[in-house]
Structure 1
Amino acid sequence: MGKPTGFLEYERKEASAVSPLCRIKNFNEFHTPLSKEEQQKQAARCMECGVPFCQAGMTIKGMTSGCPLNNLIPEWNDLVYQGNYEMAYRRLHKTSNFPEFTCRVCPALCEKACTCGLNGDAVSTKENEMAIIEYAYANGLADAKPPKVRTGKRVAVIGSGPAGLAVADQLNRRGHSVTVYERNDKVGGLLRYGIPNMKLEKQIIDRKVKIMEQEGVSFIVNANVGDNVKANDVVSKYDAVILCCGSSNPRDIAATGRKEAKGIHFAVDFLTSTTKCLWANNMQLVDGEYISAKGKDVIIIGGGDTGNDCVGTAIRHGCKSVIQLEMMPKAPDVRAESNPWPQWPLVCKTDYGQQEAIVKFGHDPRVYTTTVKEFKTDKNGNLKSAVLVSLESQVDKKTGRKMMVPVDGTEKEVPCQLCLIAAGFLGSQDYVTKAFKVDVDGRTNVASVNANSFATNVKKVFTAGDMHTGQSLVVKAIRQGRDCAREVDEYLMGYSNL
């Protein structure tokens, strides 16, 4: 290990953030990285534990503990402490295809399982990861390295989100010729249009895609397989096809007036319209080219990361007010005794959008155990207000399941001209699954032939990522892509060295 007493001598330090009132003036990433010397001190805090939970990626009580990619975290922490960034990059790159993405958008499952976090502050692993990958780009270590030998096998990947990109990257390294089909105008899937620019600037995606192209991966955009591209043509043209189209069906809500009111949108459509407008207009918003929250009272239904992203985006639009509704009660501020380390901590997290709302409007935007009961409109059908209702937990007598049900008499009408539904996603879209004739499970996720496989019921058609598992994390989608690539490689070659 680097410095045996490092965790005792140095306190955790993170990259400094631009103040909320300043950063809401634009859509740029807003953290300033630590100096190289300070980053080495942070890496020195790693204890190189005998049992490094940070890289375990285990499931404990249904929740992931540690890195799903099994990144060799103590090893590259030690190398950062020594100042050997080149070797640290090589260790990181062994397990992670896209550290430039995960160091920005991952919720840091590694840090939540860090042993230092048991009685203090965890090692700043995400910060160290960013330092490594940005050093690699700055010093030519991450430049294109095309495979020296091609196998003659052709592979199609449908979807260019994190799972699709990981599959493509791995199989191209192996020497297969990979073509990625993307239905949108740019590569990246939800990395591109589901995550706001201030969390992941899109030139970061373009930088990696350019390298993948230089290494031999082909990308075809505006190619909606199952719509303007025939699935049968793709299957007949390639030796293997991998479906990585994501969990793309947004969950709706059943409230009176939902269908009639103008001004209700799914969160992904709201975020997508903003990103597309920014990148079409030199990072400036142009009226009429995006779903605007400017001057409006905004209600966001959903308390997760996407809901928070909508809060931050609406504030940057110049909204009049913002409320974020959460069906469940507020989580505790500290770990409960029933939720010990190294389990994922079920605690209340105040993210960047909520921080900005607190500073901008003077209060936390979140309202717990509450949902919308009814939407009301003006004479032109435009949304003007919403009737909120409190919820309480009850047990269904037939199934024994706990449910959140409305409490009569708690209704409250609040002004609202824009409502964003950020209630998650339900599964794959059936026009794709029907086009490929693949089986789906009860949640409309693409089913595999067995629990440990990525092969579908259709010959030479595989699946990975959220389309296979349901909505999850970017880091888990990358792991899915890597594991799927190995199975596809074995299918094509009879063995795999991935």
Structure 2
Amino acid sequence: MGKPTGFLEYKRVSNPTRPVGERLKDWNEVYVLRDKETCETQGARCMDCGVPFCHRGELLPTGATGCPVYNLIPEWNDLIYKGRWKEALERLHHTNNFPEFTGRVCPAPCEAGCVLGINEPAVTIHDNERTIIDNGFKKGWVFPEPPESRTGKTVAVVGSGPAGLACAAQLNKAGHTVTVFERDDRIGGLLMYGIPNMKLEKAVVQRRVDLLAAEGIVFKTNTEIGKDISSKKLLKDFNAVVLATGATKPRDLQVEGRELEGVHFAMEFLAANTKSLLDSKLEDGNYISAKDKHVIVIGGGDTGTDCVGTSLRHGCKNVTQLEILSKPPKERNNEANPWPEWPGNQKIDYGQNEAIYVQGKDPRVYSVMTTKFEGEEGKLKAIHTVEVEWVKNENGGMMPKAIPGTEKRIKADLVLLAMGFLGPEDTIAEELELDLDRRSNFKAESQYKTSMKRVFAAGDARRGQSLVVWAINEGRAAAREVDLYLMGDTVLP
């Protein structure tokens, strides 16, 4: 806890955002840090709640609550309140390899579980976390710490997203020689090419990658397993293999006109934009531009929001975000959606705020289903939609039902499909004849072991599309199981 009466004395103060008119002109991060003194006061709001729900991640019907990596939140809140920042950093790194990532992109299920959040705004756990780690880098307290000795065991990690990097970091700490294979030209996976700069600047990712390399992890880019190197060769060359490829198979929308020029998956749009930005500050033109276009984003999650923000920075004519689900309530329904469940009320993220600034209204339209893409000479010109209501089917599940007479035609030059992901791609599973679960993920239920000996799986490739913080949890847990398998014992948490 922080100050015993702090939650009574201080109001919540979140990290501020840069002015919308300013940030739309560049690709720099939206959020800026509070000063240390304000953060210390916010740490004081951590109350003596008796049983802290914030630091243990649980999956409830409405989503995660509490921290999936079990961050020792009351401890480091107390430490920053007392000005003991270096000790706070040590406690933070004890459970989280990459707090500079989660402190920027995590939606903070920890705050959903904050006991103060029952009747007051929760403690600013997410912002405190980022301030601790950014202050640690500024002070020079974060530096390479290679293991004192090596075990002689080798591990290949396939994929360099948050799960792969966390797994590699932990295995390297245990003294194993770890090689991370990445098919893209830069390390980071989702962190590098899936999340745009305005949420996570790539210098922040590269800073951590450089630290991991200095600690002895070998990174191999432009190397696709199953294409450049076979999966079976990895098994021959390494003592263990960890598959952390992510769930990169996008959910498609197979309606009339899907083949038209101008209809793209969201990740095609976001990844190409980031790569061009890093390669040439967008001067090479190797990206899908939204400039002067009527943009439709289909999907209401984080990826959809990122498409909205990116389109606005390109200079689109307008952007509309379509969501098949019903509009959430403005206020939390405490009977149907009680604490500590993830609050299901409507939230306005950075992309929607920017669209409101530019267009004068929220870009989101709810309870709408796309029925057709309309084109002319092979190019997208419009989309056709219909409003839906959610009704129970014969099995008791909810399904959308079209409402006759609500059909609309919306002008569109660019459609971005941001409807989530179905699982990992098939190549490695087919090569190794791995068992898959009913959602087409690598089946690795017990001890992160797949059906193939010496092959483990972690992250979205094992559990399905999820949060960065769950991916870190998975990578750490898989590393422990690999270490146990290789050595017969483990000291990894």
TM-score, L = length of structure 1: 0.97
Deviations 1:197-216 (A, max 9, x none): 00000010100000000000
Q: Provide the rounded CA distance (Å) in 1 between the counterparts of 2:488 and 2:62.
A: 34
1:267 alignment counterpart:
266
Corresponding residue of 1:296:
293
Instruction: Give the superposition deviation at 1:100.
Output: 0.5
Mean alpha-carbon deviation: is it higher for 459-468 or for 328-337? 328-337
Q: Does 1:413 align with 2:412?
A: no
Residue 476 (structure 1) shift: 0.3
Question: Which structure 2 residues correspond to residues 380-459 of structure 1 after superposition, within 5 A?
Answer: 381-397=378-394, 399-448=395-444, 451-459=445-453
The letter for the 2-side match of 1:318 is G
Q: Which residue of 2 aligns with 1:374?
A: 372
AA matched with 2:478? C
The code of the aligned residue for 2:231 comes to A
Q: Are 1:484 and 2:478 an aligned pair?
A: yes
How far residue 62 of structure 1 moved from its aligned partner, in angstroms, is 5.7
Indicate the larger mover: 388-397 or 225-234: 388-397
Return the alpha-carbon distance in structure 2 between the equivalents of residues 357 and 331 of structure 1. Answer: 19
Letter of the aligned partner of 2:413 in structure 1? Answer: Q
Tell me, yes or no, if structure 1 residue 475 matches structure 2 residue 469: yes
Please show how residues 126-145 of structure 1 align to structure 2 within 5 Å: 126-145=126-145
| Equivalent position amino acid for 1:43 in 2 | G
Q: Equivalent residue of 1:403, what SS?
A: strand
Q: Deviations over 1:306-344 (max 9, x none)?
A: 101100000000000111000010111111121111111
Contact 2:161 2:191 in 1 (8 A): yes
Q: Classify 1:14/1:400 alpha carbon distance in 2 versus 1 (closer, same or farther; 3 Å).
A: closer
Is 1:310 aligned to 2:307, yes or no?
yes
Give the structure 1 partner of residue 323 of structure 2.
Answer: 326
Instruction: Report how many residues are paired.
Output: 491
Match of 1:286 in 2: 283
Asked if the contact 2:276–2:285 (Cα under 8 Å) also holds between the matched residues in 1, the reply is no
- In the alignment, the residues of structure 1 paired with residue 345 and residue 363 of structure 2 have an alpha-carbon distance, to the nearest angstrom, of 17
**SS of aligned partner of 1:308:** helix
Instruction: Give the 3-state SS of the residue equivalent to 2:251 in structure 1.
Output: coil
Matches of 1:366 and 1:420 in 2, distance apart? 14
For residues 274 and 179 of structure 1, the distance between their equivalents in structure 2, rounded to whole angstroms, comes to: 28
Return the alpha-carbon distance in structure 1 between the equivalents of residues 172 and 406 of structure 2: 58
**CA 1:234–1:207 in 2, change beyond 3 Å: closer, same or farther?**
same
Aligned to 1:276: 275
Distance 1:428 1:390, change over 3 A: same
Partner-residue secondary structure (3-state), 2:288 = coil
| 41-50 or 301-310, which deviates more | 41-50
Partner of 2:9: 9
1:351 equivalent in structure 2: 349
Aligned partner of 2:38 in structure 1 is 38
Distance across 1 between alignment mates of 2:15 and 2:62? 31
Deviation of 1:5 after TM superposition, in Å, equals 0.9
Structure 2: 5+ residue stretches without partners: none
The equivalent residue for 1:116 is 116
CA deviation vs aligned residue, 1:422-454 (integer Å, no higher than 9, x gap): 000001111121122211112110002xx3320
Task: Tell me what 1:362 maps to.
Answer: 360
**Residue of structure 2 equivalent to 1:339:** 337
Determine the C-alpha separation between the residues in 2 that align with 1:489 and 1:294: 50
Q: 2-side partners of 1:315 and 1:331: how far apart?
A: 24
Instruction: Give the residue type in structure 2 aligned to 1:289.
Output: N
**Contact 2:383/2:412 (CA < 8 Å) preserved in 1?**
yes
CA–CA separation in structure 1 for the residues paired with 2:176 and 2:49:
39
Please tell me the residue identity of whatever aligns with 2:401. V
Which residue of 1 is the match for residue 84 of structure 2? 84
Aligned AA for 1:328?
Answer: L
Tell me by how many angstroms 1:395 deviates: 2.5
Per the alignment, residue 201 of structure 1 pairs with 201
Q: Is the 8 A contact 2:276 2:284 kept in 1?
A: no
Contact 2:57 2:69 (C-alpha < 8 Å) held by counterparts:
yes
Q: Select between 109-118 and 243-252 the one with higher mean Cα deviation.
A: 109-118
Cα separation, 2, equivalents of 1:406 and 1:229: 48
Q: Distance in 2 between matches of 1:209 and 1:294?
A: 33
1:161-240 mapped onto 2 (5 Å cutoff): 161-240=161-240
Contact 2:62–2:341 (8 Å) recurs in 1: no
1:155 alignment partner, SS class: strand
Give, as a single letter, the amino acid of the residue that structure 2 aligns with 1:277. Answer: S
Identity %, equivalent residues: 50
2:487, 2:284 → 1: CA distance?
53
Instruction: Compare 485-494 and 61-70 and name the one that shifted more.
Output: 61-70
Check the 8 A contact 2:2/2:74 in 1, yes or no: no
What is the one-letter code of the residue matched to 1:304? Answer: G
SS at match of 2:410: strand
